[in-house]
């Protein structure tokens, strides 16, 4: 019995190696008693013969996206955002996607990946010590005000990173785990590749502008989808306000309080009826525009991830985000 019919099928040469491997492993769609491990180098499977199990495709539990034929804009209006998408997390469906593979600047949405690396490698109570590099001088940079020699635990640092979007917190976390921000960026890029975020490249842990620091709306979904598997992450992004005490370089303790930068959590913007916003991550720079990746739930608790990138204004950002949320269940 043949696996193909007599019709001529034209397949690009670059597809042949993957196709051949797939045919060798799966035959005509039958189960194979071989496990696999996905490889960051881009291989489809790493097959080993000593155990049993079904070889599953990399994207089996992920949403696949294309480009939607409709727009969030009114007919004839100039587009005031670059990309937008809505993903049904459990259903592995994409109810809406627009321009999700365009290379864009993520701004502070970068900190989602910073948090992933920290949560994979650290514990809540380990101590993070700030170096001279927390003294970021770039105009407009969001800073908590940490000083060299200040000490805080990782949970506090992650609250400062994700809720207040402190760029100095990002530097402190990066140096804590990798010794330098550039080495930490290498870790971020490795993790992005492992997640399949092939349109992403990081050069820092905070998202301050660099032309070589970019991602796509679909890649933001992949990274955020990984981040929400951590209860620690979900807890932090869902908090409206946070107060903590940390040890300064002089040995004294200083209190810090901040509120979420997410207008849904602050109550300044309301989601559509029946939708609960769990939390998310904002990102804003002059080059990146206004950005937001969000976790929401419908009235049954079913989770959705939504992304809007490079909106021209903050009000436009939240307006388009609500348009996406309004599509849930429809």
Quote the DSSP letter at residue 104: B
Alpha carbon separation from 198 to 13, 59, 65, 67, 93 (Å, rounded)? 21, 14, 14, 18, 20
Q: Specify burial of residue 326 (Cβ count, 10 A radius: 0-12, 13-18, 19+).
A: middle
Tokens of 271: 């989601």
Catalytic-labelled residue, pool 165, 260, 296, 306: 165
Pick the catalytic residue: 69, 97, 108, 247? 108
Q: What distance in Å separates the CA atoms of residue 73 and residue 82, rounded to the nearest whole number?
A: 11
Contact 127, 153 (CB under 8 A): yes
Catalytic residue among 97, 111, 296, 306: 111
Catalytic residue list contains 180: no
Beta strands in the chain (DSSP E): 83-88, 93-98, 127-129, 151-153, 241-247, 253-259, 276-285, 289-297, 303-311
Q: Which two tokens stand for residue 4?
A: 């193909």
From CA 295, how far away is CA 280, in angstroms rounded? 6
The answer to whether residue 38 is catalytic is no
Indicate if 111 belongs to the active site.
Answer: yes
Residues 232 and 92: their CA atoms lie apart, in Å, by 23
Active site residues: 108, 111, 165
């Amino acid at each position: 019995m043949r696996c193909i019919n007599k019709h001529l099928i034209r397949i690009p040469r670059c597809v042949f190696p993957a196709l051949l491997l797939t045919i060798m492993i799966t035959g005509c769609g039958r189960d194979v008693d071989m496990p696999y491990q996905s490889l960051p180098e881009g291989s489809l499977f790493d097959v080993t013969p000593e155990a049993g199990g079904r070889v599953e495709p990399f994207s089996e539990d992920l949403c696949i996206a294309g480009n939607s034929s409709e727009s969030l804009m009114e007919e004839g209006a100039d587009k005031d955002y670059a990309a937008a998408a809505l993903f049904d997390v459990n259903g592995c469906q994409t109810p809406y996607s627009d321009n999700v593979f365009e290379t864009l600047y993520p701004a502070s949405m970068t900190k989602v990946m910073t948090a992933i690396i920290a949560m994979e490698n650290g514990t809540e109570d380990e101590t993070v010590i700030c170096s001279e590099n927390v003294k970021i001088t770039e105009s407009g940079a969001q800073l908590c005000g940490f000083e060299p020699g200040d000490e805080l635990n990782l949970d506090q640092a992650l609250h400062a990173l994700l809720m207040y979007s402190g760029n100095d917190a990002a530097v402190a976390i990066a140096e804590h785990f990798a010794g330098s921000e550039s080495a930490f960026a290498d870790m971020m890029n490795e993790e992005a590749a492992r997640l399949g975020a092939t349109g992403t490249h990081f050069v820092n842990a905070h998202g301050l502008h660099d032309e070589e620091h970019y991602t796509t709306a679909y890649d933001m979904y992949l990274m955020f989808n990984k981040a929400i598997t951590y209860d620690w992450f979900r807890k932090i992004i869902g908090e409206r306000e946070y107060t903590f005490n940390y040890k300064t370089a002089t040995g004294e303790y200083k209190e810090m309080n901040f509120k979420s930068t997410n207008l849904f959590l602050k109550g300044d913007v309301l989601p559509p009826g029946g939708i609960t916003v769990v939390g998310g991550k904002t990102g804003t720079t002059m080059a990146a525009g206004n950005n937001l990746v969000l976790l929401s739930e419908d009235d049954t608790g079913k989770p959705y991830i939504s992304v809007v990138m490079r909106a021209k204004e903050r009000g436009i950002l939240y307006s388009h985000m609500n348009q996406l949320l309004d599509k849930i269940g429809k």
